[in-house]
Amino acid sequence: MKSEIDIEEENKDIVRRYKALLRSCNSEITREDKKLIRKAFNLSVDAHKNVRRKSGEPYIFHPIAVAQIVAKDIGLDATSIACALLHDVVEDSEYTLNDIEKAFNPKIRKIINGLTKISGFSEQDISSQAENFRKMLLTISDDVRVILIKLADRLHNMQTLDSMPRLKQQKIGSETLYIYAPLAHRLGLYSIKTELEDLGLKYTEPEMYKDIARQLNETKKARIQYIQRFTKPLKKSLKEHNLNFSIKGRPKSIFSIRKKMKNQGITFDQVYDKFAIRIILNSELNNEKPDCWETYSVITDHFRPNPDRLRDWISTPKANGYESLHTTVMGPGGKWVEVQIRTERMDEIAEKGYAAHWKYKQTGKYKEGNLEDWINQIRELLKDPESNAIDFLEEFKLNLFSKEIFVFTPNGDLRTLPKGSSALDFAFDIHSQLGANCLGCKVNGKIIPLSHKLKSGDQVEVISSEKQKPKKSWLNFVVTAKAKNKIKSSLKDEKKMIANDGKEILQRKLKHIKLPFNDQIITELINYFKYKTSLDLFYDVGIGVLNNTMIKEFAKNRNSWYLFLKNKIYKRPSTKNDDHDNTKYNTLVFGANQEKLNYSFSKCCSPIPGDDVFGFTTIREGIKVHRRDCPNAIRLQSNFAYRILESTWIDNTSKKSDVVLHIKGIDRVGLVNEVTQILSNNLKVNIKSININSSDGTFDGMITILVTDKQYLKKVIDSIKKVDGITSVRRKFKSG
């Protein structure tokens, strides 16, 4: 009887959630729209009946929640809400895409197809996530709503991740930080981006997340009081200027506070701008700009601004359409406060991104932004059918979170490029053929090399020649996906032509020394000369790198070489490196069974005993151990989750490891000597190297020391921080 009552209650709950969804739809929803949503809801209920989520609740709760985010947080139309309700139907039930088209229409079929994962991939397939992501992006060509619904789906999955196993949480959290949060940022969905980042941090660095959340909560009361004190005089002056406004004070996200702490090597207490004030104006489109600057003038009448912290994204909006005026002023009690000034239209675009752009485009209250340009770049990127899925993902991500610069053509047209773009990136941005034929560029009237990095405000003229062709060296200084793609494509075409000639040359050479031209011989040649593919082999023959003498040597050594190859393949790889002999010091165990396996420490983050670490199974170098906060951790856990091994320290030996400390401070006579005295005499730490640069009364330097474990390293850092004049001590990642 109890189960019947529970089912009855669940059915009532489903109806309550559906009604809440309808209330979340915008006021322009028609009777026909409601019929469409109801039809999608009924089909989804049928498709997911008797199915439950890991948490134990009915599966239908998930599509309703995704539709709620699509309706309320993004503000999309009835078609999008219907697709959100149907997004898992084809993947998880007997319904097919043809069934969806018959019940609805071809447009809904296309969107659902974009949201349905590619079948045939195993959980272990390295590119499954990347391929599915690329498939989803293909729909951007004619319907960006697929990506917006996918972001809503990811957000609800992150909100309900507690019921998943720890490893699954880390994988999904890493994917979210690696791709989905940057994608939400680029599409202008600020609130969704912020929540995805915070939830991503919650599951990739849970202790850090809890610690910052606790400290934010403890300082909440004082923060609210300070915001009231700061805004009181502003409200009075803004009313006197007859401005129609509202003021919000909001804390910075946990993720952004963590990022600042990590990048600057500071504690929570040292982060000065833990909140921002937002002033939202009710202005007519034609008065938006003067109203915002008038508000800025009022603020600076009360508080002194920091001239280096003024950001005008009203005159020149960001690539995702974001418009706002930011300033940082000195508030009461000597505290810096960030103030954001924007209109209601700008605020809606900032929160709801592309969906709000679409809405304002329909009503005519729209300012043309750069978002369409970005979508065109994605279309360009998707044109390369031969690109590896993981490489595609890396290239796509390059332009997601990049800061922008604004440069001008000779005619004065404005172009937006990622920060760090070269003159060659500019040429490719204008046109692919212009980039391919680029000989040089003039920046502000002066001829500069193609590798020259552009700055905002530069005016660039491209000099081209039809005889010029892309070179491999160009890949070293271009940053945009379009330029890289076009250069690689051109080089690949040229390589194929040379390889075809090389194949014919090799066939003649083998015939001359009486060896057959077949798959076995080609495979032997590839292994003997250590090529990756037959294309590389044929190419080197074509350009003359692999010559007659070398091929004759291969033929002569074929039999004896077989024994060498056998030894090389079956020889157990060494796990030794300069700093760690892990065959002797097995301090880590791996997996649920806590197995002792050979491993080596990754040089990119140089773990030491006691660090929070994980194992990563590489193809050629066995298990590499990385710190959880390694710069590469999110990428590895996102793209290669099945290769991640849980790692546990079971023994801290006396083995010592390299650690590089980055120290900063106020220079004074004897300071460096005092630091070395503490390390060598007091703490008995072995200093491998020390490099200090002093300038204008401050110093900045690196000290490489040998320590046994994390606890001892903390003691060392705490001791150095106590030295008078030291302002910052933090552990540094190795570059590369």
* Catalytic residue ranges: 91-92
134-139-140-141 Cα dihedral, nearest 10 degrees = 110
Rounded (5°) CA angle 143-144-149: 110
User: Residue 88: which of 113, 107, 110, 106 has the closest Cα?
Assistant: 113
Residue pair 411/438 in contact by the 8 Å Cβ criterion: no
Residue pair 384/485 in contact by the 8 Å Cβ criterion: yes
| Tokens, residue 416 | 């937006």
Collapsed DSSP state (helix, strand, coil) of residue 695: strand
Dihedral of alpha carbons 67, 68, 73, 77, sign: positive
Collapsed DSSP state (helix, strand, coil) of residue 408: strand
Rounded (5°) CA angle 167-170-173: 145
The CA–CA distances, whole Å, from 122 to 88, 128, 670 equal 18, 8, 62
Residue 687 main-chain phi, psi, to 5 deg: -90, 120
User: Residue 403: which of 416, 394, 392, 412 has the closest Cα?
Assistant: 416
Count of Cβ atoms closer than 10 Å to residue 230 Cβ: 22
Residue pair 302/240 in contact by the 8 Å Cβ criterion: no
Q: Which residue blocks in 280-388 are alpha helix, DSSP H?
A: 288-302, 344-352, 354-363, 371-381
Residue pair 627/633 in contact by the 8 Å Cβ criterion: yes
On the CB side of 701, CA atoms within 13 Å amount to: 19
User: Residue 443: which of 424, 468, 466 has the closest Cα?
Assistant: 424
Residue pair 3/56 in contact by the 8 Å Cβ criterion: no
Rounded (5°) CA angle 100-67-188: 115
User: Residue 100: which of 179, 47, 169 has the closest Cα?
Assistant: 47
571-573-577-581 Cα dihedral, nearest 10 degrees = -90
Regarding beta strands 623-627 and 325-331, do their DSSP bridges make them parallel or antiparallel, or are they unpaired? unpaired
Q: How far does the chain reach from its first CA to its final CA, in angstroms?
A: 64
| Tokens, residue 296 | 């800025």
Collapsed DSSP state (helix, strand, coil) of residue 421: coil
* CA pair distance 342, 685, nearest whole angstrom: 54
The CA–CA distances, whole Å, from 445 to 35, 421, 426, 459 equal 62, 18, 15, 8
Specify the DSSP class assigned to residue 727: E
664-669-670-675 Cα dihedral, nearest 10 degrees = -10
Regarding beta strands 599-601 and 623-627, do their DSSP bridges make them parallel or antiparallel, or are they unpaired? parallel
Which residues, other chains included, contact 338 with Cβ-Cβ below 8 Å and sequence gap of 6+?
273, 275, 276, 277, 309, 326, 327, 328
Burial-class residue 480 by CB neighbours within 10 Å (0-12, 13-18, 19+).
buried
List, in sequence order, every beta strand (DSSP E) within 446-505.
446-448, 460-464
Specify the DSSP class assigned to residue 734: P
